[in-house]
Structure 1
Amino acid sequence: MIGVGVVTLLTVFVGSLRASLEDGVAGSFKGPLVVDGGGNETGGFAPRLVDEAARLPQVSGVAGLGTGGMRVGGRIATVSVGDPSALHRVLDLDVSQGSLAGPGTFAVSKKIADDRGWHAGSRVGLTFADGVAQEVTVGAVYDRTDLTGDYLVPWTIWDAHTKQPLVTRAFVDLQPGASVASARGALTALAEPYGAPDVETRDAFVTAQTSDMNGFIAVVYGMLALAIIIALLGIANTLSLSVHERTRELGLLRAVGATRAQIRSMVRWESLIVALFGTAGGLGLGVFLGWGLGAALGNPFAAPPVQLGVIALVGGVAGALAAIRPARRAARRAILASIAAP
C-alpha cells in the first residue's frame, strides 16, 4: 500500500503538472506555428529571421522571444526579451494592468508585482550584464507566465547592452485561409541560413514543452517496479508463514476431501485479496495526496486513468505471482503428516 501510494502520488502530481503546462501554453498561444531555436548550437537565431518571416505572404503576425539574465529591482532574474506590442498580437498574456501596446513597454507578472509591491507606473531599477544601470517604468502587469516568465524586457532596451541578441522562439500567426503546410515550408526554407531552427506546429510545440517530464515518469515507474518487488517478497513471506502455521488445518481440509488444486486456489485467492486491498488503499491514498499537492501549487487535478489502471493491474498480478511458491508448498504437504503436526 505504501509503495503503490507513493507511485500514485507522483503519477497524479506529474499528470496535474503536465495538464497545467499544456493548458498554460495552449491558452497563451493560439497561432498555428512556432520557430523554435532551442535546439541550435547557439541556442537561438538572429532577430532578422523574425523580420523576414513577417514579410511572408502567408504570415499575418510574428513575434520573437529571447532570454537573458540581469538584476531587476536589485535581484538576479532570468528575463524574457521581446517586442511587447508584437507579442500582444500573437500571445494572450492576460494583461490585468496597463497595456503591451508600446514597443518599449517593460512588463512583469502579477505574482512578481504582488510580491514586490509594484503596479503599472512603478519605477524599477535594471542592471545589465555590462554593468549599466537604468530605471524603467512598469508598463503592464500580466497573469500568464508559461511562455514569457515573470519579466518581459523590450528589445529597444536590451539591444543596447548586448553585442549579439538572439531569439529563442518566434510565434507565428497566419493570414485567414493560409495553408499551414505551405507556411511551414516557407518558414523552414527561410530559417535554413539561420542555423535551421525547428518549425513546429502548435500541437507539437505544446508536446515538446512537456516532454522533459518523460524522464521523471520513467523514474516513477522504476519506483513502481521496486515497490512490486518488495510487495512480492512481503506477500510471499506472509503466505509462507501462514501456510506453516496452518499445517494441521490444511491437512484436515485435504482429509475431508479438498483437492490439491483447491488448496492452491485458496492460497492464491488469499494472496490476491491482500494485494488488491493494498493496491486499492495505495491508489486512494496516492490520488488524495496528489490532489492535495497539486491544489497547493495551483495545478488543476488530472489523474491519468491509463497509468492508474496499469498500477492497479500490476498490483493484482503481483499478488498472483507472490502466491505461486506458497501455494505449491501448501498443496504438496502429506495429509497424515500435516494432521499430526504440532
Structure 2
Amino acid sequence: MFRIALKSILGRKARLVLTSLAVILGTAFLSGTSIFSATLDRTFNNLFQDVFANIDGYVRSTEVVEGDFGLIERQRIPAETVQKVLAVPGVADAVPDIQAFARIVGKDGKPIGAEGAGPPTFGSVAVEFKGALWTIAEGKFPSGPKEVALDESSAEKAGYVVGDTVKVIAQAGSREFTLVGIASYGDVRSPGGATFALFDVPTAAEFLGKPGFVDAILVVGDGTRTDEALANEIDKIFDPSAKVETLTGAEITKETQDDIGEALSFFSIFLSIFSVIALGVGSFVIYNVFSISAAQRQRENALLRALGASRSQITRSMLIESVVVGLFGSIAGFIGGIGISKLLGVALPALGFDLPSGGLVVTQSAVITTIFVGLLVTVLSAILPARRAGKVPPLAAMRATALETTGKGTKQLLIGLGFIAVGIAIVGAVIGGADNNYLGLGIVGVFVGTIVIGPNVARPVALFLGRPAAALRGVTGTMARQNAARNPKRTSRTSSPVLIGVALVTAVSALAASINGQISDIFTEQFKGDYAISVSAQGFGGLSPSLANDIGKIDGVKNATGIGTALAKIDNKGRTLTVISPDTIEGNYDIGLINASYSSLDKDGIFISRSLAERDNLSVGSVITVVLGDAVPRDLTVRALYEHDDLAGNRVISRETFAGTTVSSFDFGIYINLEDGADNTEVRAALQKAVDDYGQGKLLSRDEYIDEQAGQVNQLLGLIYGLLFLSVIIAIVGIIITLLLSVFERQRELGLLRAVGMTRKQVRTTVRWESVITSLLGAVTGIILGIGLGWVIVFALRDQGLSSFQIPIGTTIFIMVMSFFVGLIAAIYPAWRATKVDILSALNTN
C-alpha cells in the first residue's frame, strides 16, 4: 500500500503542487518569521556589543515613570555628577550622555523620518572620547551652540553635506545649525532607522533637555578593576537618597539589546499573524482537496478493497499521501521563508529602516518548527477524508465517474447549531457584564458553528445567489447555479476561506467605522477653535511650547493654546496627564468644566473628571500627590471637576506646573481661535508661514482637523486588508482545485453537452459563473457574520466610551465586488481545462 500511495502521488503531480500551495503559504510566513527574527537578534546584538565594547560603566537615575505602550520618563541627573565620577579611583574618563527628541528638517522644508509610527527621531551627544558611541565618518565632532553632526543615513536622505545649514526642532524650539560632521553608529549609518542630530554636551543639555542636567554618564575604566568592581566604587559616592545606579558595560549592552529587540518585535508579530491566518485558512483547502481525492479515487479504492485491501490500509494510504504533501509543502515553504527574509532585508533599508550588515541566521529550531507545523496541519486536515475513503465498499463505488456523496447532514446541523448557541450564550454573558476576556471564546464558537452548518445552508444560498446568473446567461447560468448547489459540502468548504477573511475584515471595518464616527462627534463637540496645528507624536516629542506663543502674536489670532501630555506617577502607578495653558485655552477647547473656569487652574492645582471623582471619592479641595519625571512629589489640589474625559482623560494640569523642573514638555497640538472679523485668507497664510518657518506640524482648518483625527483609525485597516489579501490568495487556490474536480466529475456530462452542441465558450461561462457563485457564497455569509461580530465588539467596549455602531457600507460593497472578481480569476484555468475535454473519451463508459 505504501508503494501504491507513492505511485498515486507521482501520478498526480499537479494536484500535489496545488495541494501543497496552501501549506507553502502558511509555512513560508512561519519560517520567514523565525529566520528574520533570529537575524535581527544576532545583528543588533553584535552591533551593540561593538558600540558598547569600550564602555565599562553607565551611571543613571533609578527613578522611572512608566506609562502605557512602553513609554518611560527617567529622571535626569545633575551635570556636575560627571566631575564626581571622574574622581573615583579606577575611572579613566567619563562623559555625559543625553538622548531626547529632535527632528531634522530637510532641504525641502519637510521633517525627515516618519512621524509617530516610524522609527524615533533623536537628538544626542557626540564627543570624542575612548568609549564614544558615535564615530565621525566625515568632518569633525560638533563644538559650540551653532554646530551639529548628523547620522549618515539622515544626511544622505536629506542631501546634506558638511558645511550646509541644517534646521533642527527640539524641546527649546526650532533653530539652524552648521553641519560640521557626519557620524556612524557602529557599522550602521543609523541604528534601527532612527534619525540623530548630534551636539556637544552644553548645547544638547540646553536645546534638547534642561541646562545643567544630563540623562546618563558613560564611563571608561583604567583597567585596574573589573566592570563590577568599578560600578561598586562609583555607587559608593552617591547617597542612597540620590537614587542613582551604575550599570556595567555588559548590563547596559544587554538592556539596550533587549530594548531594540522589543521595539522590533512587531515585525515578528505581524508575520506570525500572517502565518497563523494562512495555515488556518489553508487547512480548509487541504481538507477539501483530500475530500476531492477520496471522491476521485472511489473506483480505484473499491478495486483495492475487492482485491483484499482493508479499510485501515486505504486510510493509511491517504494519510501517507498527506505526509508527503505536508513534507513537500513545508520544505518548499521553508525555502520561501528564506526568500521572505531576504526581501525584508532589502525592503526595510529602502523604507528608511537601516539594518546592521550580516547574513541570514537559519536556526535548527526554525527548520524543525516549520516542517513539524506543516506536517501536523496537513495530516490533521486529511484525517476525516482518509477515514471516509477507507469506508468505500468494494462494489458500491464501481462507477465510471467520481462523485462525492452527500447526505442530509442532520447530525452536522445539530452540532453546528450547538456551537452557535454556546457562542451566543457566552457573548450574551459578556454583554450582560461578564469579563470581556470571554468574548473571544464566544466568537470562536459562532465561527466554528457557522462553518459546521455551512453545507446545510450552502444549497439554498447558492441557488439564491445564482438567480442573476440564470437570468442573465440563460442555460449556462442555470447550469452553473445547479452545479454550485449540487454538492453543498464541497461548495461550503470551498467558500470557507473567503468567509473567514471577509468576516474578519467586515468586523474590523465596522469597529473602525464606529470609532471613526464617535471620534468625529467628540471633536466636533469639544474642539472649538478655527484652526489647529497637529503632529503625530504619539508620546515622544512633538511641538515646542514656544510655537504656541509665537502663533498667538500673529495679527488676527485671538489666542493660540498648546495641548500636551505628561507621564506622572500617582499612587505608585504610571498615569498620563493632559497639559493645558489656562490663560489661552478658553474658546479653543471645552472639557465641560462644572461650575468653574480655566483660570482657577494654577501650578499647584489639578482638574479631574467627574467619573474619576466618583470612583475614587474625590471632590474639589482634595489633594492628589503627583510625581513627575523629576521624581519630586507634588501635592496638587483639585480645583474643579469636568465632564468630557474622552480626549482629556481623567486628569488635567497646568503647564506652569513644569516650571523649575527637569522635565521636558511638548505639545501634540495647537488650537487657534481667530478674532472676530479677521480676514480668514490672510490669517491662514500667516499661520502657514509660521508653521513652515518652524519646520514641523500640519496646519488644518476646523473641519480638516476633525476629519484627520477621525480618520486615524483607518490606519488599522491596512493590516486587516493584508490578511484579507492572504485569505483571498488561498481561497483562489481552493476554488481552482474544487473546480478542477468538478470538471473531472462531469467529464461524461461535459462530453454529452459538447456532443449535442454546447460551444467551448458556453462551457467556460458555466464554470466561470459556478466559481463566482461559490465566492459570493463565502462573501455574503462572511459579511453577515462580520457585521454581527462587529456589533458585539462595539457593544462590549461600551465601558471604554464606544457607544455607537455603524455599518461599513463602502467596505461591504467593495468586498462584494472583489469577491465577484475573485470568482472570475479562480475560474480561468479550470474553465480552460473544461473546454479541453475529449468528447469521444468522455462518452466512453468503459
Q: TM-score, normalised by structure 1?
A: 0.86
Which is further off, 211-220 or 308-317? Answer: 211-220
From 17, 25, 29, give the equivalent of 2:527. 29
Instruction: Report the Cα distance in structure 1 between the residues aligned to 2:818 and 2:535, rounded to whole angstroms.
Output: 41
State whether residues 45 and 197 of structure 1, in contact with CA within 8 Å, keep that contact through their aligned partners in structure 2. no
1:45 equivalent to 2:549? Answer: no
Q: Which amino acid aligns with 2:636?
A: V
From 772, 778, 784, give the equivalent of 1:284. 784
Which is further off, 145-154 or 91-100? Answer: 91-100
Alignment-derived partner of residue 687 in structure 2: 187
Q: Which amino acid aligns with 2:672?
A: V
1:244 equivalent to 2:744? Answer: yes
From 137, 144, 148, give the equivalent of 2:637. 137
Q: C-alpha deviations, 1:31-85, integer Å up to 9, x for none?
A: 211233667x9622234x4445445442233322222111124321121211346
- SS of 2:545's equivalent in the other structure is coil
State whether residues 45 and 194 of structure 1, in contact with CA within 8 Å, keep that contact through their aligned partners in structure 2. no
- 1:264 Cα deviation after fit: 2.1
- 1:271 Cα deviation after fit: 1.3
From 801, 805, 816, give the equivalent of 1:301. 805
Q: Which amino acid aligns with 1:183?
A: V
Q: Which has the higher contact order (CA 8 A, sep 6+)?
A: 1
Instruction: Report the Cα distance in structure 2 between the residues aligned to 1:262 and 1:164, rounded to whole angstroms.
Output: 73
Alignment-derived partner of residue 825 in structure 2: 321
Alignment-derived partner of residue 8 in structure 1: 506
Q: Which amino acid aligns with 1:302?
A: Q
Q: Which amino acid aligns with 1:220?
A: I
From 229, 232, 252, give the equivalent of 2:732. 232
The CA RMSD measured in Å over matched residues stands at 2.9
Which is further off, 322-331 or 51-60? Answer: 51-60
From 754, 769, 781, give the equivalent of 1:254. 754
1:312 equivalent to 2:812? Answer: no
Q: Which amino acid aligns with 1:307?
A: T
Unpaired segments ≥5 residues, structure 2? 1-498
Number of residue-to-residue matches in the alignment: 340
- SS of 2:585's equivalent in the other structure is helix
Instruction: Report the Cα distance in structure 2 between the residues aligned to 1:340 and 1:111, rounded to whole angstroms.
Output: 81
- 1:155 Cα deviation after fit: 2.4
Map 1:196-275 to 2 at 5 A.
197-210=697-710, 212-275=712-775
From 562, 580, 586, give the equivalent of 1:82. 580
Judged with a 3 Å threshold, the aligned counterparts in structure 2 of structure 1 residues 249 and 111 are, in CA distance, closer, same or farther, namely farther
Instruction: Report the Cα distance in structure 2 between the residues aligned to 1:134 and 1:173, rounded to whole angstroms.
Output: 33
Map 1:107-146 to 2 at 5 A.
107-146=607-646
Instruction: Report the Cα distance in structure 1 between the residues aligned to 2:755 and 2:738, rounded to whole angstroms.
Output: 25
Q: TM-score, normalised by structure 2?
A: 0.37
Instruction: Report the Cα distance in structure 2 between the residues aligned to 1:328 and 1:203, rounded to whole angstroms.
Output: 53
Q: C-alpha deviations, 1:83-106, integer Å up to 9, x for none?
A: 346434321223457654513251
- SS of 2:638's equivalent in the other structure is strand
Which is further off, 166-175 or 210-219? Answer: 210-219
Bigger Cα Rg: 2
Instruction: Report the Cα distance in structure 2 between the residues aligned to 1:136 and 1:215, rounded to whole angstroms.
Output: 38
- SS of 1:89's equivalent in the other structure is coil
State whether residues 516 and 711 of structure 2, in contact with CA within 8 Å, keep that contact through their aligned partners in structure 1. no
State whether residues 504 and 786 of structure 2, in contact with CA within 8 Å, keep that contact through their aligned partners in structure 1. yes
Map 1:54-93 to 2 at 5 A.
54-84=552-582, 86-93=584-591
Judged with a 3 Å threshold, the aligned counterparts in structure 2 of structure 1 residues 250 and 37 are, in CA distance, closer, same or farther, namely closer
- 1:200 Cα deviation after fit: 2.7
Alignment-derived partner of residue 672 in structure 2: 172
Instruction: Report the Cα distance in structure 2 between the residues aligned to 1:331 and 1:190, rounded to whole angstroms.
Output: 69
Q: C-alpha deviations, 1:4-57, integer Å up to 9, x for none?
A: 111222222222222222322232112211233667x9622234x444544544
Judged with a 3 Å threshold, the aligned counterparts in structure 2 of structure 1 residues 137 and 87 are, in CA distance, closer, same or farther, namely same
